[in-house]
Amino acid sequence: MNVRKYLVLLAVMCFGSIGDALLSRGMKQLGPVNLHHWQEIIRPIGNPWILIGILCLTVFFASYLTALSFADLSYVLPATAFGYVLVTLIAKFLFHENVSLLRWLGVLLISCGVGWVTRGPALTEHPREAPAAMQKEQHEVA
């Protein structure tokens, strides 16, 4: 793991949670999806919040693919949860929203989980199954 790889993880954290927030805002604007009209499920794509949300999630996805190319899924996923912590901090210090004690406890638990997992090895070694191109990478991580 080097600085560049941690930056990829940071991009996964930021763009994922921002994209989700934009999507939820757009869907709330549109109201309930009625399953009796299947065409309606396409309608959200015209909404500007949904569009920007999808754009953010595209950047998120590219960073996510890059992260998974050099680290385990069970390493990357907890690390991505740190996005929730960022959203809470933005809500508190940028939008001056009220953040309850229970939420701060949640922030603490997620931070502990992320701090804990990122101190361990990023990639499981599979000496016999690994493709030749990956051998170099595994030595670097180890």
- Where along the sequence are the contacts to another protein (CB under 8 A)? 4-5, 8, 20, 23-24, 27-28, 30-33, 35, 41, 44, 64-66, 68-70, 72-78, 81, 84, 88, 100, 102-103, 105-114, 116-117, 119-120, 124, 126, 129, 131, 133-134, 137
Give whichever of 10 and 68 is closer to another protein, judged by the CB atom: 68
Tell the smallest beta-carbon distance from residue 68 to another protein (Å): 4
Residue 85 to residue 109: CA distance in whole angstroms: 10
Give whichever of 55 and 65 is closer to another protein, judged by the CB atom: 65
Tell the smallest beta-carbon distance from residue 119 to another protein (Å): 8
Tell the smallest beta-carbon distance from residue 2 to another protein (Å): 10
Tell the smallest beta-carbon distance from residue 105 to another protein (Å): 5
Give whichever of 52 and 137 is closer to another protein, judged by the CB atom: 137
Considering only CA atoms, which of 119, 123, 100 is closest in space to residue 111? 119
